[in-house]
Amino acid sequence: MLLRGALRRLTLHRTVVTPTALRAFASKSREVPALTCDRYPVQRGSFAELTDADVAVFRGILGGPDSSRVITAEDEVQNYNIDYLRSVRGYGRVVVKPRTTAEVAELMRYCNERRLAVCPQGGNTGLVGGSVPVFDEVVLSLQLMDTIERIDEYAGIVVCQAGCVLASLEEQVGARGLVMPLDLGAKGSCHIGGNVSTNAGGLRLVRYGNLHGSVLGVEAVTAEGRVLDLMSNFKKDNTGYHLKHLFIGSEGTLGIITRLSMFCPTASRSVNVAFLGLNSYDDVKRTFLAAKRGLGEVLSSCEMIDAPSLDSCTRFFGLQSPIEKYPFYMLIETSGSDAGHDEEKLTRFLEQTMEQGLVVDGTVTNEPTKMKV
């Protein structure tokens, strides 16, 4: 039901855009971008060049000469050479797809001995070109490392491989009454290992902080093929050095994260989302401060969208804004355990910000189907 006390009800265009549809944006047949090395003044390092003998070794590591986990067909490899925005492109000739940490270690050990450059790749949803080769690097894809090993609903911990898709993890932990501490627009295709490697923030950072506080442990493989077991299954672990923090946000420069354990908070029973229109950036800042003070412990997300960004999204995906046009918009989410208490706090907050002239218009819902529109 819509909360009516503070805001008038506005009709929301019910066109649902699934994560798969969003991800298809990058895979549509469009113009192939120029090579990164031709567009930018970058120079290839003194690495070896890939040979057929190297490919044969990769096949041996990953199941034999007929292994489908070593991709060399040019049209298939190109999908791994181009980034999500189709703005940069490498010219790697092979993609390898390990299933275990041991296979990653063996591949890295061989590449290190041969001085073959490697580009680790997760869901390839990054927007800055960091997940694709710059030159002819070997692409090491973690797509097949997607096993959820354990979900402990008592401790609130999930242990999984790095190739698990964020949306799949969210679904599985949600079935146990838990919630992933991060939420991203690319969750339908991004990998949890890539999220940790880039220290992704996401929509829930206001509530749960960054991943340094949520990741309990990692398993990683270094460039020379050494496996580092930095796993932990305890939220309160105050023993020794916490080397896991070096890998969170290191973007693969120190090693490839292959497994991890993460703390998942208890899922909230009451969730409300408000989409608001504002006239100035100063109003956005003042509304954010008012939200932190007025909503307190139930504030779980607070995002700003400017008019050009919203217009680009609505035009490209054929959507309609739920409210009239304004220079700025805010998306505010509350999460708690008492629906009546949460709705009362949100209503009071919205009434006050509208009376102060900070919020001009908006719509509010607690219906899950409308939150995903």
> Rounded to an integer, what distance in angstroms lies between the CA atom of residue 170 and that of residue 325?
33
Question: In this model, does residue 158 exceed pLDDT 60?
Answer: yes
Q: How confident is the model at residue 107 (pLDDT cuts 50, 70, 90)?
A: very high
Pairing status of strand 157-161 against strand 256-263: antiparallel
> Rounded to an integer, what distance in angstroms lies between the CA atom of residue 308 and that of residue 217?
40
pLDDT in tens, 8-30: 433 333 333 344 444 444 444 57
115-129 mean pLDDT: 94
What pLDDT does 17 receive?
A: 39
Top CATH class, 270-370: alpha beta
The sign of the torsion formed by the CA atoms of 228, 239, 202, 342 equals positive
pLDDT in tens, 183-233: 988 999 999 999 999 999 888 888 899 999 999 999 999 999 999 999 988
Virtual CA dihedral for 58, 225, 262, 154, nearest 10 degrees? 90
For the whole model, what pTM was predicted?
0.85
Q: How confident is the model at residue 153 (pLDDT cuts 50, 70, 90)?
A: very high
What pLDDT does 281 receive?
A: 97
> Rounded to an integer, what distance in angstroms lies between the CA atom of residue 324 and that of residue 338?
31
How many degrees, rounded to 5, is the angle at CA 180 between CA 179 and CA 183?
Answer: 115
Question: Out of 3.40.640.10, 3.40.50.620, 3.30.465.10, 3.30.1360.120, which CATH number does the structure's domain 148-263 have?
Answer: 3.30.465.10
Q: How confident is the model at residue 362 (pLDDT cuts 50, 70, 90)?
A: very high
**261 Cβ partners below 8 Å, 6+ apart?**
157, 158, 159, 215, 216, 217, 218, 231, 232, 233
Task: Tell me, yes or no, if the two domains 36-141 and 148-263 fold the same way.
Answer: no
pLDDT in tens, 137-150: 999 999 999 999 99
- For the chain, give the mean pLDDT: 89
Q: What tokens appear for 134 in the block?
A: 């710059």
pLDDT in tens, 72-90: 999 999 999 999 999 999 9
What pLDDT does 368 receive?
A: 72
95-118 mean pLDDT: 98
The values of phi and psi at residue 191, to 5°, are -100, 145
Q: How confident is the model at residue 371 (pLDDT cuts 50, 70, 90)?
A: low
Question: In this model, does residue 261 exceed pLDDT 60?
Answer: yes
Q: Domain residues of the chain, as ranges?
A: 36-141, 148-263, 270-370
What pLDDT does 71 receive?
A: 96
Q: Counting Cβ atoms within 10 Å, is residue 284 exposed (0-12), middle (13-18) or buried (19+)?
A: buried
The values of phi and psi at residue 229, to 5°, are -95, 100
Domain made up of 36-141: CATH architecture: 2-Layer Sandwich (3.30)
271-285 mean pLDDT: 96
Question: In this model, does residue 1 exceed pLDDT 60?
Answer: no
327-332 mean pLDDT: 96
pLDDT in tens, 15-72: 333 444 444 444 445 789 999 999 999 999 999 999 999 999 999 999 988 789 999 9
Q: How confident is the model at residue 372 (pLDDT cuts 50, 70, 90)?
A: low
**234 and 297 Cβ atoms separated by less than 8 Å:** no
Q: How confident is the model at residue 240 (pLDDT cuts 50, 70, 90)?
A: confident
What pLDDT does 176 receive?
A: 95
